[in-house]
Amino acid sequence: MKKRITMKGSALLIILLLIFSCTKPTEIENFDSSTWKIDKNGCQQKRIKMISRLQEVQFELNGMKEASIKSVLGKPDKTELYERGQRFFIYDITPDPECIENYQGEEIDLILRLNALGIVSEANIQAYEEMNFNQ
């Protein structure tokens, strides 16, 4: 007996092909994910040494799904909820004050904005000036 591919079956096959062909890879070429993940909160100061490569690839993060981001960068150091189901994943590039009390450099973070579907819609490297509240 020969089986015929129905119209519904072929439509489902096309949809699945489109979905899997449009996903971004879970790796970034020439980016040392294992070193990045090991340096939780930037405490070992390995992430700051990777900043030039990160600047080159930061826009490749746009369009990646949450699972892919966690595969490449690991669990975020901080997560912030935003309106309409959006979230921010924040990765410390320079040491967090919790690890190095007297760190004298500027604070630099990688901030990823994820939409309600868990897809990165914005990737920024943000530097903050030192704030002195004892004025």
The arithmetic mean of pLDDT across residues 22-39, rounded, is 81
Report the CATH number of the 27-128 domain. Answer: 3.30.1450
The confidence band for 134, taking pLDDT boundaries of 50, 70 and 90, is: very low
CA 30 to chain centre: 16
Domain ranges (residues) in the chain: 27-128
**Taking 50 as the threshold, does the pLDDT of residue 3 lie above it?**
yes
* Full-model pTM: 0.76
Q: Which of 26, 43, 30 is nearest to 77 (CA)?
A: 43
The residues, ordered by sequence, that sit 6+ positions from 63 with a Cβ below 8 Å of its Cβ are 24, 119, 120
The confidence band for 17, taking pLDDT boundaries of 50, 70 and 90, is: low
The residues, ordered by sequence, that sit 6+ positions from 130 with a Cβ below 8 Å of its Cβ are 106, 107
The arithmetic mean of pLDDT across residues 81-110, rounded, is 89
Q: Which residues pair with 102 in a beta bridge?
A: none
**Taking 80 as the threshold, does the pLDDT of residue 99 lie above it?**
yes
The arithmetic mean of pLDDT across residues 84-112, rounded, is 89
